[in-house]
Amino acid sequence: MKKNLPLIICLIIALLFIRLFFFIKNTGDRDVKSTQNENVTISQTIPADYAALFKYKNKLSSDQTTNTRFRNAVADIRYDNKYFIQVYKIDTSFNHSLSDFITESHQDKHITYDQSYRKISDHKLFSISYKVGQPEKISAILLNIFGNDTQTIEKRDSIAGYYSDLKNLSIQYGQNQAQDIYIKPKDDKASMPISIYFIKKNQALYSIILTAINNEPVTSTTLKELLAK
């Protein structure tokens, strides 16, 4: 038995590698199929209701707006060429109070492993990923912000705002659901100042994410000061 032990160990290791290979292959095949079913289109038009969320619409310029089969438009916007802003309409029929509906946590989280994600914004310093396919039904908003100097700026019925020197951020729509949105710097050791707001307007729920394009300072009030009243 002892003589055969090295052979048995080698066989076990080989079987584990084979299983890992097929897992990676199947995951890759599933990701490709899921991505093909998304029917992605790109435009340079900022949706009118997205632009209406800001005070000075003449300072908005479009990087791109991504439309997919299962998800509302995701608009990448530059504000006065100083700030990168991403706007996404999470829900079109939302009647809850944000003060009760959002639960915050502050853990160092990895993106959900067994899901496919699309990097809708893939900048040189950070990426914003959205789950491929139909978003989950929203039963809650679980907002996880991990970083330094994390603050709740305001939280009321129709608006909730947060700031952090961010290491990673994720949004889930229920306790046992996969992350729908995941944000992190490209450098695992880095952090970046970011502000995120949720706004309820005309029965729709929007998320707005802001960070600097270059070295423009981002403070806890930067995004708040750009939003329409």
DSSP for residue 225: H
The predicted pLDDT at position 214 comes to 85
pTM confidence score: 0.83
What digits encode the pLDDT tens for the residues 40-81? 999 999 999 999 999 999 999 999 999 999 999 999 999 999
pLDDT at 27 over 50: no
In the chain, where the domains are located: 1-36, 40-226
The predicted pLDDT at position 229 comes to 83
Res. 1 pLDDT band, cuts 50 70 90: low
> CA 154: distance to chain centroid?
20
pLDDT at 128 over 70: yes
First to last CA, the chain: 77
The total of other beta-carbon atoms located within 10 Å of residue 57's CB is 12
What digits encode the pLDDT tens for the residues 193-210? 999 999 999 999 999 999
Taking the C-alpha atoms of residue 209 and residue 213, their distance in angstroms, rounded to an integer, is: 13
The predicted pLDDT at position 37 comes to 72
> What is the percentage of the chain residues whose pLDDT exceeds 90?
73
Res. 127 pLDDT band, cuts 50 70 90: very high
Tokens representing residue 57 in the block: 């619409």
The burial of 169, by beta-carbon neighbours within 10 Å (0-12 exposed, 13-18 middle, 19 or more buried), is given as buried
Res. 121 pLDDT band, cuts 50 70 90: confident
pLDDT at 3 over 70: no
